């Protein structure tokens, strides 16, 4: 199966870069799956989980990241994910995310609650 080059970049750092078979992300228009040969596109990211399926030595691996806002662009077999904030699932502190969710609920902060939920979904998707 053909692969595409993926760059996942946050405002402050390069989060992940490599070759992938499939990337699934949530945009304002809904979920989108991008494979090699996809039509050129540009979309606005919803806060959510990005699934990057790579071809590992022992079969297919999945890189999972939580993203909060940004853009996704595909052209010439290169996928760029430019996020305001992005974290790989293995970088997320579950206890901190759970405390953040509880604090957001207590303060009725919907945006902070959504960020904490996305982090927890990314971790859950990785296990």
Is the pLDDT reported for residue 124 higher than 90?
no
Do 55 and 97 share a domain, yes or no? no
Do 71 and 54 share a domain, yes or no? yes
Helix (H, G, I), strand (E, B) or coil at 76: coil
CA distance 104 to 116: 8
Do 75 and 116 share a domain, yes or no? no
CA distance 22 to 112: 29
Q: Which position has the higher pLDDT, 41 or 60?
A: 41
Q: What is the pLDDT of residues 58-87, one digit of tens each?
A: 667 899 999 998 999 999 999 999 999 999
Q: What is the pLDDT of residues 80-112, one digit of tens each?
A: 999 999 999 999 888 888 888 888 889 988 888
Task: Give 8: exposed, middle or buried? Use CB within 10 Å, 0-12, 13-18, 19+.
Answer: buried
Number of domains in the chain: 2
Give the dihedral of Cα atoms 39, 73, 22, 67; nearest 10 deg.
-150
pTM of the model: 0.85
């Amino acid at each position: 199966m053909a692969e595409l080059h993926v760059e996942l970049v946050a405002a402050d750092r390069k989060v992940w870069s490599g070759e992938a078979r499939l990337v699934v992300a949530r945009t304002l228009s809904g979920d989108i799956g991008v494979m090699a040969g996809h039509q050129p596109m540009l979309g606005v990211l919803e806060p959510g989980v990005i699934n990057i399926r790579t071809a590992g030595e022992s079969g297919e691996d999945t890189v999972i990241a939580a993203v909060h806002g940004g853009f996704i662009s595909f052209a010439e077999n290169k996928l760029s994910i430019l996020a305001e904030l992005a974290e790989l699932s293995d970088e997320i502190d579950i206890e901190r995310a759970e405390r953040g969710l509880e604090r957001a609920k207590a303060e009725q902060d919907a945006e902070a609650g959504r960020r904490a939920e996305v982090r927890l979904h990314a971790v859950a998707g990785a296990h």
